[in-house]
Copies of this chain bind each other. A is one copy, B any other.
């Protein structure tokens, strides 16, 4: 396995946080196998075991990387159990992750997919722990992929991988009922309501909050005021200017958001 180093881009998305050496150790493993790999941290502060949040972050970020990038996700509450480790090749990207639904947005959106169950111990560390597959399985698999090893060598093709159902908003006449799907560092409340639904919006309701229409950017409202806008993910977001909507409004993931338009939002087909 003495292969020439290859300048590949590998991203890491984990719930390992920054308190420990875990992410650093994964990088050591990757660079030992491919010293020319360029490793980028996508995010490591996913809440412990929060598969939905990891899927959200991956979904929002992965397309901004160049074709050929290898995206590694290690949010893996069932590490060590029979849950499978996967590698996926799509038209433009590679993904390496546990088979727990964290790749659902990829499975829904990408084309020309090939999915493999990672079983070839030749491409794992010699001793694999039951608790740190990030180091022992996912990092080396991604590193070998980055050296040009064919994905089919890493394991067996599968087609029964885990896909979670997306949370789609409900449409009823001139009303859209969506929900908060993510809250970010700033306390911005990201909903599952795509901007394509936001035509002729009259009012947005979230708990006791009533917002008249949609603004373009945060500083269009007064300091401390709530506002609705289309966020960087292309979805409706509720925010508080220079404040934290999640804590101030006491809103959590899953809480409903209602949008009222001046005309029907149900498409005729």
Residues of A within 8 A of B (CB): 7, 9, 11, 13, 16-25, 27-29, 31-32, 35, 38-45, 48-49, 57-58, 60-62, 64-66, 69, 77-81, 129-132, 135-136, 184-186, 216-220, 229-232, 234, 237, 242
Listed by A's residue number, 21 A-B pairs whose Cβ atoms lie within 8 Å are: A9-B35, A13-B21, A17-B185, A19-B45, A20-B185, A21-B42, A21-B58, A21-B61, A24-B57, A31-B38, A31-B40, A31-B65, A35-B66, A64-B135, A78-B217, A79-B218, A80-B216, A80-B217, A129-B231, A130-B230, A132-B231
Is the CB–CB distance between A21 and B131 below 8 Å? no
Q: Which residue of B lies closest to A237 (CB)?
A: B131
A218 in complex: contacting residue of B31, B45, B80, B135, CB < 8 Å: B80
Is the CB–CB distance between B66 and A32 below 8 Å? yes
Is the CB–CB distance between B231 and A65 below 8 Å? no
A9→B136 CA distance, assembly (Å): 21
Cβ distance A72 to chain B, nearest Cβ, rounded Å: 12
- Sorted nearest first, the 9 A-B pairs with minimum C-beta distance are A80-B217, A132-B232, A28-B64, A24-B42, A28-B65, A17-B185, A21-B57, A21-B61, A130-B217
